Amino acid sequence: MGMRRKKEKRNFWCNNEIGCMLNLVRQMHSRQGTTTTTQYTFVEIANQMRSFGFPNKSPTQIRRKWFQMKSAYLCYKRGNKDRILLIPEKFRQVIASFVDAEYHAMPSQAKSEMLDIKPIIRSPVKLMNIPLEAPKAIPIVHKQIDQKPKVFEQPLIEKKKIKKKIVDDSVSEEQNGTDLKFTKLTNRLRSVQKSLQKEFSSRQKALMEYEHTLQRERDKTLMEYFTKSTEQILSASFSILGHSMQ
């Protein structure tokens, strides 16, 4: 059996880390003269981020974050306005410049495929084609005994028009009801999404503060350990020197 691949620890991104990553991506694009990214690109960015004091980001995490923000901006351009919330506000213009630069560098055929976004059009209700013809002559019923007025039967074409109008009105009411339900559902989903985004941001901030607290405690413990070790070494050195002097 092959060795299991080690699962990477979940790691949140702070604004400083995102800003450092984007600056390094811009530098890589400038040196390479192209916007193409490879696995080597993300390995190089991860190594440089370590030198800038961000050692917790692997090439895989950098690659995922990079394509996640680009995908969110593309979905925003296609009409999904809520996806822009996945990109911190201070970096949205930067991501837009990256994506637009890649778009201008694409061949014309790929551009047309990328922008071939057709709106959803509902097929209209098909109306019945009723040939217009002269109404047939209806015999007049007239009784001379009770002297009742003349009675005329309604032409057949008028009956069909009235029936078609009733059907169209019912279909229109049903469609309006469906649209109203869909609108309510969409508004509800957006409200839930905003609540989840707010909760996620709150928990992310709490985790970052907790992580910083742990780092401070670790640094304090290390400094105390180093101080104590240094004192012991100095004490032992003075003791040895004192014996040698005697």
pLDDT at 212 (0 to 100):
87
Q: Which tokens go with 125?
A: 């209700």
CA triple 62-74-19, angle to 5 deg: 35
Distance, CA of 93 to CA of 102 (rounded, Å) = 14
**pTM, rounded to two decimals:** 0.41
pLDDT at position 137 is 47
**If 0-12 CB within 10 Å is exposed, 13-18 middle and 19+ buried, where does residue 24 land?**
buried
12 in Cβ contact with 208 (< 8 Å): yes
Task: Classify the C-alpha dihedral 35-37-40-42 as positive or negative.
Answer: positive
One-letter identity of residue 54: F
- Amino acid 47: pLDDT: 94
Q: Which residue has the tokens 């990256």?
A: 98
DSSP H or E segment with residue 67: helix 59-77
Q: At what angle do helices 15-32 and 92-105 cross, to 10 degrees?
A: 20
pLDDT recorded at residue 101:
79
The answer to whether the beta carbons of residues 86 and 68 sit under 8 Å apart is: yes
Q: What is the pLDDT of residue 29?
A: 85
Least Cα distance to 70 among 42, 103, 41 occurs for 103
pLDDT at 202: 86
CA distance 205 to 215: 15
81 CB burial (10 A radius; 0-12, 13-18, 19+): exposed
C-alpha–C-alpha distance, residues 132 and 157, integer Å: 8
pLDDT of residue 125: 31
Amino acid identity at 76: Y
**Is the separation of the CB atoms in 86 and 69 below 8 Å?**
yes
Cα Rg, the chain, nearest whole Å: 38
DSSP H or E stretch at residue 9: none
Closest of 78, 77, 73 to residue 88, by C-alpha:
73
Task: Per residue of the chain (246 residues), give pLDDT as tens.
Answer: 455 655 655 668 999 999 999 999 999 888 887 778 888 899 999 999 999 999 989 999 999 999 999 999 999 988 888 888 889 998 999 898 888 877 666 555 444 444 443 333 333 333 334 343 444 444 444 444 445 545 444 566 776 777 777 777 777 777 787 888 888 898 989 889 988 988 898 898 888 889 888 988 888 898 999 898 898 898 888 888 877 776
Distance in angstroms (rounded) separating the CA atoms of residues 89 and 96? 12
